[in-house]
Structures are given as structure tokens and as C-alpha cells.
Amino acid sequence: MNFLKNFFLKNDFSKNNIPRRPLTIESTTELSNTLQRVVADILSDSCPCRHPRFRYLVNFQDSNYDAGPVFCADTNYLVSAACHDSNFLLLTARETSDVIGDYAGDLMYTCQKCGSVYKRIGKQYSINFEFQYLIIVEPKHEVDTGAEVKFPIPLLQGLFGFSDSEILKCAKDFKIGTTNEVFNYLTERK
């Protein structure tokens, strides 16, 4: 019985092979804990700004794929781990001009290790569909210490949206992975 349970947890059988798992308390707790561990591991000898895989995943936005609206749960939780849980990004300002997000201002964060400046953007498409991402507006890291981005990127929770056809525009770059696959992918050094 455990074999079947593990088989279905490791393989995505969602409609159209969209990389996603059902949202449950257990799956989101696993995602949150894993991404907090990722940020802590990277901070042990560097900063996430120096990791291309971190920068790619925190910058997931449907417009990068000419799709929309599409939400990456892993991105949301990674942004949260970076901005709240780890204290590596410190809130330094609220930008009220040139606002990209759907709120009164975009939040500006500064890396406590290298000084890179990020803009945190929040988008809301409905009362139940909101997502966030980070863009680096002032990179100050000098050398990458993390491995280059490699596709498909493993996700623990996956991609969600209103339309499977829109999600599929983004899905080719991602797959559902295990906790270890996601952790190892994001923390791999050069």
C-alpha cells in the first residue's frame, strides 16, 4: 500500500500533465519548511542573490511566458521565506511611483549580505487568487556561487490558475519533485 501511495505522490496525474499537487495543509507545510531550509542552507556560506536558481524561481511570473494568470505556489513560499522567515531580505521602503503590483505600493527589500535591492510585487486576480514575486532592481552580488538554472525545475506544490491552457504555457519548464530534489536543486553550488 505504501508503494502505491508513494507512486501517486511522486507522479503527477493531473489533467493535461500540469505540474501540481493538491493543496493541503500537509503539502503547504512541507513546502514552507523545505524552502526555509533552502534559504538557511544558502545563507550558511553566501546569499541567495548569488544563486541563479533562486533568482529564477522568485521571479516566476506568468507574463514571462505570455500567459496569465498563473500562480506558482513554490515562488510564493520562497518569497515568503526570503522576506519574512530568514531575515536575509530587510524591508527598506515602499515605492508608490512606478507601481507594478495591484496594491498601494511595491515593497523594496535589501539583502543583508550583498546589498542587492529587490522589489516585491503582489498581484491579485480574484479574492482567492493572489501571488507575489521578486525582481532585482539593483544587483550587487559580484559572483554567482550557485549552479546555473537547469530545466525542468522541480517544484513541490506546482502551478495553478484559471485555465489549463494558460498554465501549460509555463508548465514545460517545471516538474513535480520530491522534497530532496527541490532542496538539492535550489542549494546546488557551482
Per-residue pLDDT reduced to its tens digit, 79-135: 999 998 777 999 999 988 888 877 878 899 999 999 999 999 998 888 877 889 999
- pLDDT tens figures, 18-76: 999 998 999 999 999 999 999 999 999 999 999 999 999 999 999 999 998 999 999 99
pLDDT of residue 4: 32
Range of the domain at 176: 2-187
Cβ–Cβ under 8 Å, residues 73 and 30? no
For residues 185 and 188, what is the distance between their CA atoms, to the nearest angstrom?
A: 6
**Cell 500567459 belongs to which residue?**
67
Neighbouring residues of 120: CB distance < 8 A, sequence distance ≥ 6: 79, 83, 106, 107, 108, 109, 132, 133, 134
Mean predicted lDDT score pLDDT of the chain: 89
C-alpha span between 68 and 95 (Å, rounded):
25
Number of domains in the chain: 1
pLDDT tens-digit profile of 155-164? 999 999 999 9
This prediction's pTM: 0.88
CB contact at 8 A, 183 and 37: yes
Q: Where are the alpha helices (DSSP H) in 18-142?
A: 25-43, 52-58, 73-80
